[in-house]
A and B are shown apart, each in its own frame.
Chain A
Amino acid sequence: MKKLSARRRHPLAALVVLLLALACTGGLYAAFAPASKAQADDSAQSLTIDEGKKLYAVGCASCHGTGGQGTSDGPSLVGVGAAAVDFQVGTGRMPAATSQGPQVVKKKNIYTQAEIDQLAAYISSLGSGPAVPTKAEYGPEGADIAKGGELFRTNCAQCHNFTGKGGALTKGKFAPTLEDVDPKHLYEAMQTGPQNMPSFPDTTLSEQNKKDIIAYLHAVNSSDTDNPGGLELGGVGPVSEGLFAWIFGLGALIAVAVWVAARTAKAKKS
């Protein structure tokens, strides 16, 4: 002991203590910490889930229940999957406004993509569901636009109109316009069927089908679409065309008629 105490003021004593302490901590960590690499990843995941759970508790739990089991104000989220969360939160539909109309509408998204991913991770931890699609799934490569058009007219046009301009449903509900909707959100909507929309899982519309539809929509209803005939007039068909014909067609012609009639060769103009 004396030997030890005699050397305690040795210039290297602090270094030795530090090394010992480090070795001790490291040893203890090695002994108690989860050993395998996979388990280390899981902890990152659980961290994400934890974060997601916190976000959930603030933004979603009041309607969907503290464990996502659903309440009278909102459906259960068990098994809806990450794709549903990414769509609903990413398009700003969720969290919904407290005073809703007939349906929850698209609005400004207030979450970052990282936060949405955390929420999605939490929700998918409650029960497995469709995952968020990758760019390879919804991207334009390898898509058949014409096939997409055919599929769109068969499956989607009843509610969304020929080129996805939207349409009315019962009691104030509506199928929204699909103009310039993010391809990822289009994919997720087909996959999960938000609100009044039926879902089109891969067994109904294959991954390739969805890709085709997305490519078709981009071709006919996006800011890149050109209208060879001129002004599109809303693209909603003959009602707006009729209105235009009456107001600008016949209206202009009546104005011209008034003008012509007012400029007559007056025989006796005093």
Chain B
Amino acid sequence: MSTTENHDSAVTRERGKAPAGERIADWADGRLGIYSLAKSNMRKIFPDHWSFMLGEVCMYSFIIIILTGVYLTLFFHPSMTEVEYHGSYVPLQGQLMSEAFSSTLHISFDVRGGLLIRQIHHWAALIFLAGMFVHMMRVFFTGAFRKPREVNWLFGFLLFVLGMFTGFTGYSLPDDLLSGTGVRFTQGAILSMPIVGTYISMFLFGGEFPGHDFVARFYSIHILLLPGIMLGLMVGHLILVFYHKHTQFAGPGKSNKNVVGMPLLPVYMAKAGGFFFLVFGVIAAIAAVAQINPIWAMGPYRPDQVSTGAQPDWYMGFAEGLIRFMPGWEINLWGHTLVLGVFIPLVLFGVVLAALALYPFIEAWITGDKREHHILDRPRNAPTRTALGVAWVTMYMITLVGGGNDLWATHFHLSINTITWFVRIFFFVGPVIAYIATKRICLGLQRRDKDKVLHGRETGTIKRLPHGEFIEIHEPLSQEQLHTLTAHEQYEPAAIGATVDENGVERKVTGKEKLRAKISGAYFGEDQQIPKPTVEEYKEITSGHGHH
């Protein structure tokens, strides 16, 4: 290395001093190897589609949350020491409250820019979680989670779940009446766990609820532990996106082996950099215009007080809903109480999320497909997956309705009891209806695509033939369009393999195999997808009689 450098410097001396930028780059390359890194990554290609930018929305809002969060830590005191408030918010003057609450009031009213930063932090958190939700749905409905991206799906899933808990712990920090109610709710859920519940609760709160510890503990979890893990996962998520390369929708020139799009530098750097400021701008504008979590209006937390309309932030709303519509069942046996009314929702909370995490592995098992997939599915071309996804979203949304049942009641002049019963029934029935409807819509769209391929696009031009017949002129699709509409592959339902081997020995068919064949039939069997038009069909129709 040193000899080369000597040689290089000898050359440069002859030509005169190299520009400063080049010398800095040379310096860095000698130590960090940036040239080879840049060579392999600067021309990395990314495809263009608005839905591929949802992940960027999440990343940028996460960065905004970290930046604003750091500012908030400068003024927030994570302490539950009781103080008397003498700040500038009159309706709380002289009230006893924790230092956490009073320092949040201080941030909101007495720190320059404090309230705006607090609101940016909170709005960005809601948007971060909403962005992750939609990003995840995009990945789900286009089948981008398939091999080789299952691990990255899990990374993303973990980011979403950790984001939920980071949000929850942050929301609890100001120690206001609303968040305190939420913490109490969580403690109740922990207590409902058989055997271990009381121990976990005592451990988490350092004794009986609320104690004097939880704000300080949630603080380290909120600002250090969870965001640290999330940052690591996010970097891993991005490295995997680089390593796998981005997926793309089918189209002319696009294959499973290439990526068609624009290079990272300069195009995507410019676009992504600009997009960061657009995201920051939108969030800052919202934070400047709309109030969020006005803790001064809620008052300090006291376990003997509670308000109506106490809900968590939206991403925990489905947990709230599960509790609200669950009947208050409990079992009393041998002097112990099993609170099913809380414990079942707690289990469902895990099951609903786990279903999301495990889906890629379930689908891979059903299809038995071990190949890599870099071309995205159009949702209609995977009707069963799309229908299952819509069913899951429907269930999620119905539990959200359940979580806000009181506001539905007051704002739509309905009975809260009726809403609760509606939610109880539609928690089960809604996903079934959504599944059936979605599947029918997908199959309808597939038929439409097939029709377009075989008969062309309806032009809306009506022609009258010499003998009086009216026909609509169909315009054949371009080669590109034909390719795009027929690029997807269709699986055959998995059949149970030969039950008799070459020696005529019958083998036992396992239950697992039967189950797989059954589910596979439901995915890809007859009437579960519309067969793609074949070349022969296409030729037969396009070769002959003119009027189609």
Which A residues contact B (CB, under 8 angstroms)? 101-102, 144-150, 153-154, 157-163, 165-172, 174-175, 216, 219-220, 227-233, 235-246, 248-250, 252-254, 256-258, 260-262, 264-265, 267
Contacts and interface: CB of A to CB of B under 8 A. Distances in A.
B53 A261 contact: yes
A82 to B, nearest CB: 30
B91 A219 contact: yes
Contacts of A261: 48-50, 52-53
Contact of A174 (B119, B305, B409): B409
B289 A230 contact: yes
B314 A238 contact: yes
A249 B283 contact: yes
Q: Is the interface of A mostly helix, strand, loop or mixed?
A: helix
Nearest to A174: B410
B282 A253 contact: yes
B131 A167 contact: no
B409 to A, nearest CB: 4
Nearest to B272: A260
B415 interface: yes
Given A157-B307, A171-B416, A238 B293 contact: yes
A229 B95 contact: no
24 contacts: A145-B91, A145-B93, A149-B299, A153-B307, A154-B304, A157-B305, A157-B307, A158-B307, A162-B297, A162-B309, A168-B308, A172-B409, A230-B290, A232-B291, A235-B294, A235-B297, A238-B311, A241-B293, A245-B286, A249-B126, A252-B282, A252-B286, A257-B275, A260-B278
A236 B413 CA distance: 16
A266 to B, nearest CB: 9
Nearest to A252: B282
B293 A236 contact: no
Nearest to B301: A153
Contacts of A154: 302, 304-305
A160 B262 CA distance: 56
Contacts of A228: 108-109, 115, 291, 294
Contacts of A231: 289-291
A245 B92 contact: no
Interface in B119-150: 119, 123, 126-127, 130-131, 134
Interface in B174-201: 177-178
A145 B90 contact: yes
B178 A245 contact: no
Given A253-B131, A264-B262, A146 B91 contact: yes
Interface of B: 48-54, 56-57, 90-95, 108-109, 115, 119, 123, 126-127, 130-131, 134, 177-178, 262, 267, 271, 274-275, 278-279, 282-283, 286, 288-294, 297-299, 302, 304-314, 317, 403-407, 409-410, 413-418
B186 to A, nearest CB: 15
A170 B417 contact: yes
A227 B291 contact: yes
Contacts of A245: 123, 126-127, 130, 286, 314
A216 B90 CA distance: 10
B297 A233 contact: no
Contacts of A248: 286, 290
A161 B309 contact: yes
Nearest to B403: A239
Given A153-B299, A167-B406, A232-B291, A158 B95 contact: no
Contact of B92 (A101, A146, A160, A174): A146
A162 B311 contact: no
Contact of A229 (B290, B311, B406): B290
B307 A146 contact: no
